[in-house]
Amino acid sequence: VSGTPPMYEIVLSAATYTLTGAAGEDNNVTGDLDTKPWNWLYITGAGEAVTRINANHLDRVFDHWGPEWLILTDLTIQNGQVATGMNGGGGIRSTNGADLWLIRTTVDSNTVNGLNGSQDIGGGIHNTASTLNLESSTISNNRAVAGGGLSLGNTNLWMDQTVVSGNVAAGSSGG
């Protein structure tokens, strides 16, 4: 299709992929996995129980900047942790008109630390000015001040056969 951005596909085998390095930079040098605009990215694993991306409590797992698509299939996003004031999304932060698709994907045990109910949000996923599609997925055991599992702002949300449970919001807005 004319004008369609390139699509990149990454296929992960059954393993735990642990992130390393310092948090807080946005050029894919250390810490989280930064996706940049103008490319569609499709990451698929061998199954939620056997393919895991583990942030090791160093940073969030994915920082997805739109306006293009990030599609995560058959894997687990776990142990992301964001410090106070880092604009949420312990597991995944998706912004700027990005489309985020999770298909048979688990977002589990991610945390946003802090006390600010307007910034320390979305322990599992923080999604703003974007579209979030959850299909046959699980958002569980995540923590934040607000929106323990999900924090949605100006978001189009579509969910099918998805479980959101066991998430904790220390301040408000529930799981």
- pLDDT tens figures, 139-149: 999 999 999 99
Residues 6+ away with beta carbon under 8 Å from 86? 24, 60, 112, 119
In terms of pLDDT, which residue wins out, 145 or 171?
Answer: 145
Provide the β-strand partners of residue 82.
112
The answer to whether the CB of 76 falls within 8 A of the CB of 108 is: yes
Q: List Cβ neighbours of 23 (8 Å cut-off, separation of 6 or more).
A: 30, 31, 32, 58, 59, 82, 83
- Among residues 80, 90, 85, 75, the alpha carbon closest in space to that of 126 is found at 90
| DSSP state at residue 58 | S
Q: What is the mean pLDDT of residues 33-40?
A: 78
> Tens digit of pLDDT for each residue in 120-163?
899 999 999 889 999 999 999 999 999 999 999 888 999 999 99
For residues 95 and 128, the answer to whether their CB atoms sit within 8 Å is yes
**Tokens in use for 134?**
């959850």
Q: Cα–Cα distance between 44 and 14 in angstroms, integer?
A: 10
- What's this model's pTM, rounded to 2 decimal places? 0.92
And the tokens for 11?
């296929």
pLDDT the model gives residue 38: 64
Q: Is the pLDDT of residue 164 over 50?
A: yes
